[in-house]
Amino acid sequence: MATNTLPSRSLLAAPAQHPGLRLGTSLRLSLSLSHHNQPADDPERRRAPVGSHPAFSRGNRAKKIPVPTTGEPAAGIRVTDRGLAYHLEGAPFEFQYSYTEAPRARPVALREAPFLPFGPEATPRPWTGRKPLPKSRKELPEFDSFVLPPHGKKGVKPVQSPGPFLAGMEPRYQAASREEVLGEPLTRDEVAVLVKGNLKAKRQLNMGRDGLTHNMLENIHAHWKRKRVCKIKCKGVCTVDMDNVCQQLEEKVGGKVIHRQGGVIFLFRGRNYNYRTRPVFPLMLWRPAAPMYPRLVKTVPDGLTSDEATQMRKRGRQLTPICKLGKDVYFPCMLL
């Protein structure tokens, strides 16, 4: 019995048996050549550039504005040895964008005309931020730390009561000064209990390269609204001088640093803290441009000429580096 065998076609056949492959290659080659031979675009047919917002145009901004020697640059703004300070009537202290990372040197020039960054009415340039949210129709009562919602109520987050209070100690509802809000000093056992309850807490406030900014003051009070201790984790440049960070926190916010571990700070709100009577600060809706400060490293050191300084820099580039400073979160070598 004869069997008819069909010719089998191999997928690895020679290119001559598949003219489609050769056609595809030639087609791609012709397309690439035609693409290179296309004439250049007519400049008249190009689209005209869309005009950007005047707030982002560089031509309208002054690159260098000298600091006036007499008087202040604007109402409510002072040029101090720590940069620009904003003074509002009735405020307990002068506001700054950053309270910890401001250089301790008087600015030599300003990058733009100074203004109060607390609202669109105070800015001399077009407002590019979002529109303010409409006022809520519901008139909610102000949160009171001494009048807490019932325990276990549905839809209410857990809130810690004021304290802790020792035996025979009564809470002060009308505490005004910082000493009255803090109350009696905490004992070692009370500090250990407060720190232990917040060591593994995920709710924390991160402090970055700008340090303690003005808007973080309100964020700390938002943490104190429900918990006695605010956990602050410092990252980056602000970890170099942790003593200054702790000092500014206690002066500006009014709490007490009860524990510090590396770059983590535990800030206690006080025994008699009441969220209702907290100091309310206006928020900065616009980040002011940093002024120009004098050079930290002189172009020509004292005792050398310009040519000698240039020759020493050329010799220094040929030296072998002692160590390599990487981009890390913390600076342990500077803390030792």
Q: How far is CA 94 from the centre of its chain?
A: 20
- Sheet (strand 205-207) strand order: 205-207, 229-234, 264-268, 256-261
Mean pLDDT, consecutive 10-residue segments, the chain of 336 residues?
Answer: 42 42 46 49 53 50 61 76 86 91 85 81 59 75 84 81 86 88 93 93 92 94 94 92 94 94 93 91 86 85 91 91 67 45
In a domain, 104, yes or no: yes
Range of the domain at 247: 178-268
* Residue 54 located in a structural domain: no
The helix/strand/coil state of 191 is: helix
Q: Is position 208 within any domain?
A: yes
Residue 87, φ and ψ in degrees, nearest 5 = -110, 125
Given this model, what pLDDT does residue 128 score? Answer: 62
Tokens representing 164? 């802790």
Residues 184, 262: one domain?
Answer: yes
Angle made by CA atoms 136, 137, 138, in degrees to the nearest 5: 90
Do residues 245 and 325 both lie within one domain? no
Asked if residue 251 belongs to a domain, the reply is yes
CATH of the domain at 252: 3.30.110.60
Residue 163 lies in a domain: no
Q: Do 183 and 245 fall into the same domain?
A: yes
Count: domains in the chain = 3
CA distances to 166, 228, 240, 261, 325 from 329, in Å: 40, 28, 11, 15, 12
81 occurs within a structural domain: yes
8 Å CB contact between 184 and 268:
no
Q: pTM of the full predicted structure?
A: 0.70
Same structural domain, 187 and 239? yes
Whether 224 maps to a domain, the answer reads: yes
What is the model's pLDDT at position 124? Answer: 56
If we measure between CA atoms, which residue out of 114, 25, 116, 19 comes closest to residue 73?
114
Helices (H) and strands (E) in the chain, counts: 7, 8
Tell me which DSSP letter residue 22 carries: H
How far, in whole angstroms, is CA 37 from its chain's centroid?
52
**Does any domain span residue 197?**
yes
